[in-house]
Amino acid sequence: MSDFKTVPVVATDEMIISAMRNVQVEDGGGFRGIGWIEAVHCYREMLAAAPSPWVSVEERLPDAEKGSTESATVIVFLDDFVITTGFYCHFENEWYGEDGYSFEEASNGPVTHWMPLPPPPATQERKE
């Protein structure tokens, strides 16, 4: 799922300008660039059509890390509407919070969905 990237719900000016520079539509016998309003509508349509990064636990569980029975840390959605981080232990067939406690034992309700953590922000090298 590293193919997902977090984007703003409302397109930034830079995003709209980029679309205006790069998107061409057929216009009669030729092509033309799109305008501001067309770029905004295009962005809204793309967001509406984008798949959800949330994965149902009924569909699939996160893979175990190489050499381990546990998955990497992921974002989990619990049945009682809590969003937190945790991991899945394939050996015990159980979800755990980062504190090591089972979500079931802590009465947080079952995990219903999960998604990978987003990549960390790009770091800029410090100038010394």
At 109-123, the pLDDT tens digits run: 789 999 999 888 877
Q: Is 44 in the same domain as 76?
A: no
Report how far residue 24's alpha carbon sits from residue 22's, in angstroms, rounded to the nearest whole number.
7
Q: What is the pTM of this model?
A: 0.67
Closest residue by Cα to residue 104 from 89, 119, 115: 89
Is residue 98 domain-resident?
Answer: yes
Number of independent structural domains in the chain: 2
Radius of gyration of the chain (CA): 21
Residue 1: band (very low, low, confident or very high) from pLDDT cuts 50, 70, 90: very low
Specify the pLDDT at position 31. 85
Burial of 91 from C-beta contacts in 10 A (0-12 / 13-18 / 19+): exposed
Is residue 2 domain-resident?
Answer: no
Domain coverage including residue 24: 13-49
